[in-house]
A and B are shown apart, each in its own frame.
Chain A
């Protein structure tokens, strides 16, 4: 017995309520309440930071700013763009993101292609060789000593070289290539193409979704990285990254004693004008590039994550 479909909103709501058992309705309410809580918990802090960054710095000290600036101003942003360290930081962060992503994609896709070829002799060996690195690593100090002995400390290369090949990314791309029909490679081979040509002309263009996923991982990783700066290039002003500068500024209030003189001076300079609002403005500058990118790549990385998880 199908109820008569009503076209008015109230009628539809009525039908919907009737179609469900009381238990189902309770579940429905719980689910939507939960989703509202999750959304608020996730977004509110960002809106709060954004509002404070646009608020007059003296006024901010009074507190009580929620998601809307009380005294709107662009002064905080003006101020941080005059700070040399942030400009350099932005340049270095941008450079390492672009170069690191491109280099990581090239290495990851090439290795993945060879590992996806079931006839490749060294396939098993290389797969295991790579997989081991996902579970065992030398650790902080041997890694540091290696960088020192390779003379990579105080160089830009230390941002790119150590992490160039990532087993996880290779396996994500490989699973994707595994899903492509092998006949494509066969026919290219019959046309006389060599393995590199097949990779470049046939596989790469088809791999865009997997490459987009890995590109996002690499770019986010590079952009967000600060510890390598801290460890290797912290004292070299021309090589510090944006995240590292932000870290210094945020940490300076809590542990100014342990920070370097340089950071303390900077913090002092910042503190004279305004601590809170300027800090939040820098936070926004550091965060915005990522926030612009990720919704567009969502459909790719959801697929990529799933593939990676199933295979590894």
Chain B
């Protein structure tokens, strides 16, 4: 019994010494990482500390201890505000539409592009499809507005030419169309880019599977359906979970740049709400409460999605 204690004590001292020795021998690794850890702490973690503002009657200029605490008052104001529900509806609607479209369209695009057997064409289409991803939303919004414009926009010209409509549609002035404008703008901008991962996953599927299917007489379409699609299933699910996690954080750039005062009832999203009612009016605490609400919902969605997929498909990111 005594002997055991002595041994373990010795072993403990040894590991302690070792840890210190390793620490010393790795000092360069610490020099190279610690500054950035501090950096991340300041710029990413300190704003989280700012969440306390939501529970205070925050006044700029006062120190943390001088602030007046008000508990959940701002959240109560938020949940009592009718405007909030409209904004929440817009956020959820555009996020969900973006999620569905932004996930189905790139998969279809990747599947079809994979069937292009002429390499030159395949590469050309792929290169072209990335192009809009690299321009800013400022430019993209300008282009979308231009294409949809009622006088001389190509979309209206085309629809009129085909005789589908009599009068040009005021795409940018009708609230009801705004969600669709944002969704299609997003598809136009990001489909090619989002397809990269699926194409890479398709490239990783073993050729012997296709070989076997061909021997069995499967058509190209059946190969696509029974081999390619199941082959990229894990990738699809992981990306789906990740995008659900970012559901409410899909940003406000599009809405800010494409929106105007005519469609504001349909274009305002949570972040813009925080910007307009929090920052512009100096109601910092209220704005922060909106930010927190946004983050909490995102996290819940992420964990829920992860849990559901773990249960039914054995794929998960955590």
Contacts and interface: CB of A to CB of B under 8 A. Distances in A.
B158 to A, nearest CB: 11
Given A126-B33, A141-B53, A42 B220 contact: no
A261 interface: no
Given A250-B141, A302-B196, A114 B44 contact: no
Interface in A117-161: 117, 119-122, 126, 129-130, 133, 135-146, 148, 150, 161
Interface stretch (B5-13, B75-83, B107-115, B174-182): B107-115
B50 A283 contact: no
Contacts of A146: 43, 46-47, 50
Interface in B31-54: 31-33, 36-37, 39-40, 42-51, 53
A271 interface: no
Interface stretch (A5-13, A30-38, A75-83, A262-270): A30-38
A144 B279 contact: yes
B50 A138 contact: yes
Contacts of A286: 135-136, 138-139
B130 A294 contact: yes
Given A44-B154, A254-B172, A139 B261 contact: no
B219 A24 contact: yes
A27 interface: yes
B131 interface: yes
Nearest to B140: A45
A225 B288 CA distance: 23
B274 A165 contact: no
B86 interface: no
A298 B127 contact: yes
Interface stretch (B65-73, B93-101, B294-302, B307-315): B294-302
Interface residues of B, number: 90
B130 A140 contact: no
A246 interface: yes
Interface string B148-185: 00011010000000000000000010000000000000
Contact of A42 (B50, B51, B192): B192
A48 interface: yes
A136 B127 CA distance: 33
Interface string A187-218: 00000001110010000000000000000000
- Among B29, B33, B249: residue with most chain A CB under 10 A: B29
A43 interface: yes
Most B CB within 10 A of own CB, among A279, A283, A286: A283
A142 B143 contact: no
B306 to A, nearest CB: 11
Contact of B302 (A135, A150, A298): A135
B93 to A, nearest CB: 21
Contacts of A44: 154
B152 A38 contact: no
Contacts of A164: 36, 39, 43
A1 interface: no
B134 interface: yes
B92 to A, nearest CB: 18
Nearest to B123: A298
A43 B128 contact: yes
Contacts of A28: 115, 220
Contacts of B33: 110-111, 114-115, 120, 122, 126
A139 B50 CA distance: 9
B142 A195 contact: no
Given A48-B146, A121-B19, A38 B154 contact: no
Interface in B166-212: 172, 188, 192, 196-197, 200
Nearest to A306: B200
Contacts of A220: 134
B278 interface: yes
Nearest to B292: A139
Contacts of B284: 141, 145
B287 interface: yes
Contacts of A129: 37, 40
A119 B300 CA distance: 35
A38 B48 contact: no
Interface string A222-248: 011111000100000000000100110
Residue among B112, B132, B235 having the largest count of chain A Cβ atoms under 10 Å: B112
10 contacts: A28-B115, A31-B116, A32-B121, A35-B121, A107-B36, A122-B33, A136-B295, A138-B48, A142-B53, A148-B60
The 4 closest A-B pairs by CB, nearest first: A138-B47, A142-B50, A139-B291, A63-B152
Interface of A: 21, 23-24, 27-28, 30-32, 34-35, 38-39, 41-46, 48-49, 63-64, 66, 107, 110-111, 113-115, 117, 119-122, 126, 129-130, 133, 135-146, 148, 150, 161-165, 194-196, 199, 220, 223-227, 231, 243, 246-247, 250-251, 254-255, 257-258, 279-280, 283, 286-287, 290-291, 294-295, 298, 302, 305-306, 309
Given A139-B290, A140-B278, 14 more contacts: A27-B219, A27-B220, A38-B129, A115-B33, A121-B22, A142-B49, A142-B51, A148-B60, A224-B136, A243-B139, A250-B141, A250-B257, A254-B260, A302-B200
Interface of B: 19, 22-23, 26, 28-33, 36-37, 39-40, 42-51, 53, 60, 109, 112-113, 115-116, 121, 124-125, 127-132, 134-139, 141-143, 145-147, 151-152, 154, 172, 188, 192, 196-197, 200, 219-221, 235, 238-239, 245, 249, 253, 256-257, 260-261, 271, 274-275, 278-279, 284, 287-288, 290-292, 294-295, 298-299, 302
